[in-house]
Structure 1
Amino acid sequence: MKNPYLDVDKKIVSEIYTSSGIMDNLKVLCDVYGSRFPGTPGDIGSVKYIVEKLTEYGLEASYDTFRIPGWTRGPATLEVTSPIKRSFEVISLPHSVSGEVETELVDLGAGHIDVYE
């Protein structure tokens, strides 16, 4: 069965790559506002930017504010202590709790399913 949205999707993707305006908006959202977890400055700024652009395009646009439980990314570290001490750059995933974990590191190679079994 053919995906009924495939043609629309192709048109949208094509428009993104051929229209400098759309790509410019995407760059602003990514480069200026960065990560946009709910309630963060990046989220709030990007919402205001989108409403401003939609209004510029002649559309009626607005947003509402409301309270939600949130999460703020804190620092995260990963350090291998043996056989060679080495640190890695990592980030905490959304809604991760803080704490320390010490465990054995197992090399699973390329991560093929048969290695896990």
Structure 2
Amino acid sequence: MEEICNKIGVRRPGTDGEKKAVSYIEKKLKEFGYNVRKEEFKYTYWDYRDYFLEITYPERREIKNALPLWGSRGGEIEGEIVFVGMGGRRKTSSLSWGKIALSVRGGYTRMEKYSNAIEAKA
């Protein structure tokens, strides 16, 4: 798990991380004596690389790979962005109605982050 989670990192479909994880697991299983066979198959996946966050004030800039919550629709929103770290209750408690919570990946599930922001009325 250390190798896959911390060294290989992100393993979303279609990424180099996915390919590295497949190779690593295949190698380990062979080392343990298993007869390993890979099979290709088609699947539908969410291509997160198309997402970005555009900040327009105080200066215009774009943050690539900014992931919205699952099920979010594209569009525009306006409001003050408040950085909430990993999105835990302690950080989100300072939010108020109309604020936009921005968190980093990890620490809590997206659902926990969402629930914490909603609890704070953001």
Structure with greater proportional helix content: 1
Max Rg structure: 1
Structure with greater proportional strand content: 2
Tell me the TM-score normalised to structure 2 length: 0.48
